[in-house]
Structure 1
């Protein structure tokens, strides 16, 4: 067992669910600290410069925010039970599922939390952030006020009266059905060892949808295999199996991959284009090099999107480009037979053309802020 780490987060935080499951699976000894307002003020903000969780304090005292950066850093330090596949197809698919779970499944995760009757539990949990030792009626009152900020993100994600029913149809009749069929045959996403994609899925599924009363009841009744997978990743770590040695991708994942490219990737490509336009506009009004130091706005206008055949509008979120770069960098690093093998898979699931994207104006995280490279 490795040295001690500290995880700052909450039980009801989507991305904390991803980080917690990863640390458990890696058999990493860690303390978990509830992120109260006091912890935000005294630890998180001074050490990261932002108000986001989870945050992980490394054994050497360094603080990392953002689950992708956290996992990348720990994987480089803790080599037992690796979660990034070696095979080119398996590696790319794992990154695709991370992008899908982190940035697209947040849509149903937020919808079911704020548009269904979870209020008593959620208000109390949000109230505990401000007043962890106060009576429940005080936490409920304060939590109701704090919750307005988070429920206010729904329109940014494209969740409104026009799309609500479509989001539920898509999640319950497509995503959940396909995941349950997959986990009926496979222990984890890619085989008998968990990978990055599994932990990313734990965010929306474990942190929201299997945590909040209303969606939890729905999933318990419809997707027993998803529940089994979730419970195993929450339990003490078991012996690790293996991924298929021939870089095989389970056939049961192909419908999910097809859906990703159909629904999510048009929005991602529009976002990349919007960031390029923003860069060019800024460059025309600033001296050379100034663009590289100023944080990029969190959202850059609206774009169309479709879910379950229903059209809507949502914000283009600039952070998505950083996540897209991870996928494209993985793909563009391939050559020869490895690339041919991956391209065959991508043609099957409608992703080949998207993977040809070349990003001219790359972004990076600098002190947990998004800037141009």
Structure 2
């Protein structure tokens, strides 16, 4: 049996919990102080942490999901078609590395969300000690998180682009989910789980919750279903991405590709900040080395495709990506 150490306010924890549920892999969920203790077993102290039945600890949701792919063959979340697998991975990466800015921004930019969520997150961890102690811890946590906002690009100046790209993805899902639940077949892929992780938090925090329920009501309900797809019996993968997947890839081309390109260029030049414009909005933040690793990984996966599959992918992802990955 696996043990997943996470938190319900962590998008990547929700992502991994949903993957384990869909794949019907026996696991125990741990949170609070037990999760903090588990961080001592991994090199980089980020959640979720997955402990395998053999007792090994590992974290970082994308490597974790591929580790499960290597270990368990049934109910895979990676399409067997290499071209489809690449674009599903691209959407998952876009969700993990760009849409997370929406989660962070909605949670910590406005006071109403800061107050509610800092108290809830402190309660999630402590679970006892009395309301005063929980609120004192919440105040410290809120100050720490709000202070980190510029480091991850979640500022009021940048949020117009973050919100515009997020709503574009939500609009694509809203068009899709009343017709078909999934993006690449009649079963979920890693792309859906990446999106679920980030948007699961928007469906809880006060400001984005009101927005999603008013503007994207079916997607709001789809997110609730996505937390447990263990009962899904679909076995088929499509030969081409759905219209919604193509629309999301289009948003990624408009926003995430130039973000990765600007980050890589800034690092190469030895600059401290990156800047770019997309969807009529400007964006600037400090460079981030982890995103450079994400770009390198995408390039490696792209280069590994056969010429035929690369040509198929090029038709789906657009020229912005082709130039960056090629």
TM-score normalised per structure 2: 0.91
**Alignment RMSD (CA, Å):** 2.1
Shift of 1:129: 5.5
* Pair 27,130 (structure 1): closer, same or farther in 2 beyond 3 Å: closer
The answer to whether the Cα contact below 8 Å between 1:101 and 1:204 also exists between their aligned partners in 2 is yes
Counterpart of 2:300? 329
Q: Which residue number in structure 1 is paired with residue 6 of structure 2?
A: 9
Matched, 1:261 2:232: no
Query: Paired residue for 1:225, among 218, 229, 232?
Result: 218
Task: Deviation per CA, 1:184-203: give whole Å up to 9, x if none.
Answer: 33211222111111111111
After superposition, give the CA deviation of every residue in 1:323-345 in whole Å (9 maximum; x if it has no partner): 22332222111223222222222
Once residues 22 and 244 of structure 1 are traced to their aligned partners in structure 2, the CA distance between those partners, rounded to angstroms, is: 17
Establish whether residue 215 from structure 1 lines up as the match of residue 208 from structure 2: yes
Contact 2:79 2:237 in 1 (8 A): no
Q: In structure 2, what is the Cα distance between the partners aligned to 1:239 and 1:164?
A: 36
Is 1:351 the counterpart of 2:318? The answer is no
Q: Matched residues in 2 for 1:205 and 1:322: separation? A: 24
Is the Cα contact below 8 Å between 1:101 and 1:201 reproduced in 2? yes
Aligned partner of residue 15 in structure 1, secondary structure: helix
Give me the whole-angstrom Cα distance separating, in 1, the residues matched to 2:226 and 2:172.
19
Q: C-alpha displacement at 1:316, in angstroms?
A: 2.0
Tell me, what secondary structure is at the counterpart of 2:286? strand
More deviation, 251-260/104-113: 251-260
> What is the CA distance between 1:134 and its match in structure 2?
1.5
Query: Which shows bigger deviation, 14-23 or 247-256?
Result: 247-256
Alignment of 1:230-241 (within 5 A): 230-235=223-228, 237-241=230-234
Structure 2 gap segments, 5+ residues each: none
Conserved? CA contact 2:5–2:38, under 8 Å: no
In structure 1, list runs of 5 or more residues that go unmatched. 279-299, 357-373
**Does the alignment pair 1:148 with 2:143?**
yes
Distance 2:275 2:292 in 1: 17
- Structure 1 residue 91, shift from structure 2 partner: 0.7
Q: Offset of 1:256 from its aligned partner?
A: 2.0
Q: Distance in 2 between matches of 1:135 and 1:310?
A: 45
Q: What is the aligned partner in structure 2 of residue 79 from structure 1?
A: 73
Structure 1 contact 183–226 (Cα < 8 Å) conserved: yes
Shift in Å at residue 209 of structure 1? 0.6
- Which is higher, the Rg of structure 1 or of structure 2? 1
CA distance in 1 between counterparts of 2:101 and 2:35 reads 28
Name 1:286's counterpart in structure 2: none
What is the number of equivalent residue pairs in this alignment?
325
1:331–1:355: 8 Å Cα contact kept in structure 2? yes
Q: If each structure's helix is expressed as a fraction of its own residues, which one has the higher value?
A: 2
Per the TM alignment, residue 77 of structure 1 is displaced from its structure 2 partner at its CA by: 0.9
Matches within 5 A, 1:1-373: 4-36=1-33, 39-40=35-36, 42-45=37-40, 47-116=41-110, 117-128=112-123, 131-172=126-167, 174-206=168-200, 208-235=201-228, 237-245=230-238, 247-276=239-268, 301-347=272-318, 350-356=320-326
SS in 1 for 2:272: strand
- Maintained 8 Å contact 1:127/1:138: no
Provide Cα deviations, 1:226-271, integer angstroms capped at 9, x if missing partner: 22321222235113314444x2111233232122112111221233
Query: What is the alpha-carbon distance in structure 2 between the residues aligned to residue 258 and residue 87 of structure 1?
Result: 21
**Deviation digits for residues 129-154 of structure 1, max 9, x if unmatched?**
65331222321221121122222232
Question: Which residue in 2 is equivalent to 1:287?
Answer: none
Q: Is the CA contact (8 Å cut-off) linking 1:7 and 1:33 kept in structure 2?
A: yes
Per-residue displacement from partner, 1:278-299 (whole Å, max 9, x unpaired)? 6xxxxxxxxxxxxxxxxxxxxx
Q: Secondary structure at the match of 1:7?
A: strand
Name segments (4+ residues, structure 1) moved above 6 Å: none
Q: Deviations over 1:150-196 (max 9, x none)?
A: 22232123232323344334433x22212211223321122211111
Do the aligned partners of 1:57 and 1:64 also contact (CA within 8 Å) in 2? yes
